[in-house]
Amino acid sequence: MKSYAVVALFDPLDVGAVINRRAWPAHVTLASNFVTSASTSGIARAVYEAAPVDAPMRVHVGEQALFGPNRDVRVRLVDSNQAVSVHNRLADQFESLPGFVPEEPAYWRQGYRPHLTLGPAAAGEGDRETSNCVVIVEIRDTDARVLAAFNSRGAL
């Protein structure tokens, strides 16, 4: 099965865009890597039902932390009740998809910590950012491909 993630972007990406995973644009992870046997349209419908862009997502960028099983992924925590709410709605939707399994269950539901993965375009501590775009990506070895994109008006 393929692996997917859902992220909120500060600058939109086109459907079909392929991004090197080491050069992600600034984003807040809303649903970390998961697998499902659902079709792309089924995943997109679940995201749409969760209404992740019913209003612009505002985040306040906080301190650095280390994530991942080896604690070697640098992130900045973000303060956003909105991100937590969207994550929980996404989890509600995804858990009903066929074959759904989060790759790191500890990072779902109560273990979810909104964060901005640090990369070349990352924001700094104290910054305030607004996202108007949410994308579903298929995670590959070294890159990710945008499968669907949503803004406050629906699918892009």
User: Rounded mean pLDDT of 35-59?
Assistant: 89
Banded pLDDT at 21 (limits 50, 70, 90) = confident
According to DSSP H, which parts of 3-133 are helical? 40-50, 81-94
Dist. CA 42–CA 27, nearest whole Å: 23
Instruction: Specify the pTM.
Output: 0.90
pLDDT band at 155 (very low <50, low <70, confident <90, very high): low
Distance of alpha carbon 118 from alpha carbon 24, whole angstroms: 9
Residue 120 pLDDT more than 60? no
**DSSP three-state, residue 126:** coil
Q: Does residue 154 carry a pLDDT above 60?
A: no
Per-residue model confidence (pLDDT) at position 105: 93
| Residue 121 DSSP SS3 | coil
Helix H or strand E segment including 147: strand 143-151
Question: How many angstroms separate the Cα of 127 from the Cα of each of 28, 63, 106, 122?
Answer: 13, 11, 28, 10
Our CA angle for 67, 81, 86, nearest 5°, is 80
How high is the mean pLDDT of the chain? 88
